[in-house]
A and B are shown apart, each in its own frame.
Chain A
Amino acid sequence: MLETIFLSLLGGALIGAAASILLVLNGRVASVSGIYYGILQFFKGDFAWRIYFVLGLVFGGLVMFLNFPSLFEPQTDRSLMAISVGGILVGFGSVLGSGCTIGHGVCGLSRKSKRSLTAVVVFLAAGIIAANLYSQF
């Protein structure tokens, strides 16, 4: 348990450090869904860095997968159907709600945004309801 807490804190600190680099050096918020949506939208003159960020995310994922494949073993009971339906809702909701777990949960809360606090409380409540209902049926 202590090891899990330590790894969670460490992983979180690395996520925070990654977001901090982007903020302090480039002046950008590391909202992953926002960055990815910007690529799909072809934002004019505001495009290249988003591609590089997502490439970095994929590259980092690949390096970690090759070195620690056990971290990537999904032990989930969710069907591909549930994952796909969930994904469509996550994609749609992240754009409509202007953020995701990192965007609102890390970047927004770190700058004490009331909008992000509201979003986190709401998506946490919805997530808890959905996860509990799913495992009931």
Chain B
Amino acid sequence: MDKHKILRSLIAFLSGALMAVGISVAELTEPQKVLNFLDFGGGWDPSLVFVFIGAIAVHFFAFKYVFKQKKPLFDTKLRIPEVKNITPSLIIGSIIFGLGWGISGYSPESGLTAFVSGDWGPIAFTIAITVGMIAHHFLKPLWEKPKDLIGEDL
């Protein structure tokens, strides 16, 4: 029996909750903030850059630390994406992602954080990403062989 399982669930919950706090403080819950960064026409807002600087400045050291330790504190091994090569899927997927991001102003984390406000924007967005992911699941046999069906490799 894995003695840390409950602890890991609790940590996952806390990580999610803290991320939601960060997303709201950075105002990623406000799609216009993102759009004012992506759209150069009138009132350009560079603050999204600072969100990423803040996040990477902290997370970079976490990777440094955990790579040195070789394993996480409460699990037996690190589960970090191992794919290294730049594939057509990565490029095409990122183009599609970017188009959707620029049309809507939302990304998955902002939709999931903001839909509890009861506003239709993040609710519709969260339903829509679910539909998009399920669509990918059913369409992927068109371009992938079954053995390639792996979930998350960044």
Q: Which residue from B18, B105, B132 sits with its C-beta under 8 Å from A92?
A: B132
- B24 & A122 in contact (Cβ 8 Å cutoff): no
- B100 & A21 in contact (Cβ 8 Å cutoff): no
Interface SS of chain A: helix, strand, loop or mixed?
helix
Which residues of B lie under 8 Å from residue A123 when comparing CB positions?
94-95, 97-98, 101
Number of A-B contacts (CB under 8 A): 520
Interface residues on A, range: 35 or more
A119, chain B: closest CB distance, angstroms = 4
Which residues of B lie under 8 Å from residue A4 when comparing CB positions?
45, 47
- A71 & B99 in contact (Cβ 8 Å cutoff): no
Interface SS of chain B: helix, strand, loop or mixed?
helix
**Residues of chain B at the chain A interface (Cβ within 8 Å):** 5, 8-32, 35, 38-41, 45, 47-63, 65-66, 69, 71-75, 77-81, 83-86, 89-109, 111-117, 119-122, 124-137, 151-154
A-B contact pairs, 24 of them (CB 8 A): A12-B57, A14-B19, A14-B25, A18-B15, A22-B11, A25-B72, A25-B74, A31-B152, A32-B112, A36-B129, A60-B24, A78-B35, A80-B124, A82-B103, A87-B127, A90-B100, A93-B96, A94-B132, A97-B92, A99-B154, A100-B97, A103-B152, A109-B52, A110-B60
**Residues of chain A at the chain B interface (Cβ within 8 Å):** 4-5, 7-38, 40-41, 43, 48-50, 52-65, 68-69, 71-78, 80, 82-111, 113-116, 118-120, 122-132, 134-136
